[in-house]
Amino acid sequence: MRNDNSASAPVCVLGPAAKDSLFGVACSRGIVKLNELWCNVIGIAGPQLAPQSEVSGVANGGHDNLIYAPLNSVLYREDSQSWMKDEVDGLYLHLASTDTSATDAEVVRGIFTECCASQRGDFSVIIPAELLAQQKRNRGLFNTVMVAIASISLLVGGIGIMKHHAGGR
């Protein structure tokens, strides 16, 4: 798919659920229309094993129902100067290294800020590693609050028991 990306080729790879809903169980190749873009299906992705949960409002799962296309193909058709302009609902980028995800996110934000100047702020860049870090911070804060509440409850209960025993003599 690397050459397809360089050539901005109108091709895609379907997730297994997307393939089943578009072509049925038997057929695996064909042409699909993504909004106004006709794409040749060049492959079917294997099933994605992921927990069916949600992290900070971002659904985890349902990857089997996605359609994958080369980034340059999508950006070429999103370019406001192109006669092939189309609206993109979402992009999922798989980076070669997760070490630079924060700086890569800034580059992506910059690209979309430039190409979508008329719709500033009409997009968001979500980094899963940042969501997981935020979830861990929230969990730590929740645990601290629960320990504080339990400690206060034990202290009040202990004072009540001591007062009851002291008053009974």
Domains of the chain by residue range: 2-92, 95-126, 131-169
Which residues fall within 8 angstroms of residue 102, CB to CB, at 6 or more apart?
127, 130
pLDDT, residue 143, reads: 97
pLDDT, residue 54, reads: 52
Q: Tokens representing 117?
A: 């100047």
Could you count the other beta carbons within 10 Å of the beta carbon of residue 90?
Answer: 8
The pLDDT tens digits for 124-152 are 788 888 888 899 999 999 999 999 999 99
Burial 60-83, CB ≥16 within 10 A → b, else e: eeebbebbbbbeebbbbbbeeeee
pLDDT, residue 93, reads: 75
Q: Does residue 1 register a pLDDT over 60?
A: no
Burial 103-127, CB ≥16 within 10 A → b, else e: ebbeeeeeebeeeeeeeeeeeeeeb
pLDDT, residue 128, reads: 82
Mean pLDDT of the chain: 75
pLDDT, residue 36, reads: 67
pLDDT, residue 120, reads: 59
Q: Does residue 97 register a pLDDT over 90?
A: no
Phi, psi of 33 (to 5 degrees): -110, 115
Going from the C-alpha of 1 to that of each of 7, 43, 45, 69, the distances in angstroms are: 10, 10, 13, 9
pLDDT, residue 157, reads: 94
The pLDDT tens digits for 78-92 are 555 555 555 556 777
Phi, psi of 96 (to 5 degrees): -65, -35
d(CA 148, CA 153): 9
Going from the C-alpha of 24 to that of each of 37, 100, 127, 143, the distances in angstroms are: 21, 40, 34, 48
> In this structure, are residues 55 and 135 in contact, taking their beta carbons and an 8 Å threshold?
yes
The pLDDT tens digits for 99-117 are 777 788 888 878 777 766 5
Q: Which residue has the tokens 């979500």?
A: 126
- What does the DSSP assignment read for 35-92? TTEEEEEEEEPPPP---SEEETTEEE--GGG-EE--HHHHHHHH-TTSTT--------
